[in-house]
Amino acid sequence: MQRINSVAIGFLYVLTSTFSFRGQTRTILVPSTKPKQTLPAAGPPKPAAQAGPVVAQSKPHTAVLAAGLPLRVQIDHRYRMHKGKPIEGHLIDPVYSTDHIVLPANSPIYGSITGLTPVHGSKRAWALLNGDFTPLKQPVLHFSSIQLPDGSRMPIDAVASERTADLVKMGGPVQKKSRIKKMFAAIHAKIVDTKNGISGAFHSHHKSEKALQILYGQLPYHPQDIWTGTQFDADLAQPVTLPDPKANDLLPVTPPHGHIPPGTIDARLVTPLTSKSDKVGTPVEAILTKPYLNQDHKDVILPTGTHLVGVVTQAKPARAWGRNGTLRFTFRQVKLPKGTMEQVHAQMTAVEGKKGQNVSLDSEGGAHANADKGKYMDPLLLGYLAGSNAVDTNQNQVDAADTSNGFGLPARIVSILFVSGTAISVFAYYALGQSVTRRWIMRGHEVVFAKNTRMQLAIADR
């Protein structure tokens, strides 16, 4: 009976660890009813280096996309990582002019793989410790043309980098919990995440790719692919002039005249931020990606490309023993197209958080990195499997496969072939030690917002 329980729990852990490649899941939290706190007034921070406008108007019936504008792209097929291989994708976010869309979402975009960059640092080290000896690479993509709404192709020059972020939204006030309650909540979240992962894999339109990713995660050496649905930010290296039938039929721009009405705006970061190195008082800059219209949508208050200037108000780096970082910033000024500055109070209500950091937002717009959902459950299961092997030395091939979790597929093969109690124990305790070290002893997660991170900001009525 003990062996049956060991096999059942071991099988649960295998399913749990198998779907750990999914990283952070999207976190949708209940909006807070707690009144937002207004930060003390402060002098305007020193503006960051100014970037060019996102979209500028050119001659009649045209719009100009400025150099540096990021195009949000999703890849349509699976591609093997080979230099020179053609690729196709589509825009997942529209591109706006002053008050309207000039490149709609789902516009096809075409390019090729122009290079492969070696992966170094902690990511490579952990791959080796998990038995993956593949020389990992990151693809460098170049997009050379995009399809316009009329069906014609426009040449572009854009270099792309992979996005690894999920959307997180503001949550309510954090309730203090005991360590026991936190542990059970984390275990429950891990179980739910695993169930969702299994369900998602079975209902996915790309089941074969999901299965292939699972297999690659167990192999000591495997091919490297760009998977269907992978997202990239493609920054324009040169300005692009597009035909724009609405260029001479724009809504009037009404200056705020000292009062910007409350509402929600969409923006992207110009200044990359991290809790590891940024300090309180660090200047922050963002650019509007969508126009901010008045209540009846007949006038533009803040056109696309408007700059927001802010400052970091709290920064706490991650520390040893799994303690995670915190970062908070607010925007206090808006720079209008004519150069005039308006006072504003805007804080985050939603932001893209890097996968693996489990970023969450509190009711005051502060970003917090959290431990992964396996912080409690994974060490418990690994410890149980390692302990069961020490007690029951008469294991069969199924027990060996369940218990040997420490070095991917090679460890399982060795344990099944030889059914050696010593070998199984070594792999089991290796997996346990690695899990405890990574989740409990090493430095926790930092809050990292890369350049072009998308976010939503709530403008408060001052």
Per-residue three-class SS string for 225-242? EECCCCEEEEEECCCEEE
**Residue 401 and residue 3 in contact, taking contact as beta carbons nearer than 8 Å:** no
Beta strand pairing call for 300-302 and 360-361 = unpaired
DSSP 32: P
The yes-or-no verdict on residue 168 having pLDDT over 80 is no
DSSP code for 323 = B
**Range 177-194 average pLDDT:** 59
DSSP 356-376: TS--EE-TTS-EE----THHH
Per-residue pLDDT, 397: 45
| CA separation for the pair 394, 242 (Å, rounded) | 72
Whole-model pTM: value is 0.72
Instruction: State which H helix or E strand residue 433 sits in.
Output: helix 421-436
Taking 90 as the threshold, does the pLDDT of residue 308 lie above it? yes
Q: Do residues 108 and 88 lie in contact, with contact meaning Cβ atoms separated by under 8 Å? A: yes
Res. 434: pLDDT tops 90: no
| Residue 61 DSSP code | T
Interval 34-47 mean pLDDT: 41
**pLDDT category, 76, cuts 50, 70, 90?**
very high
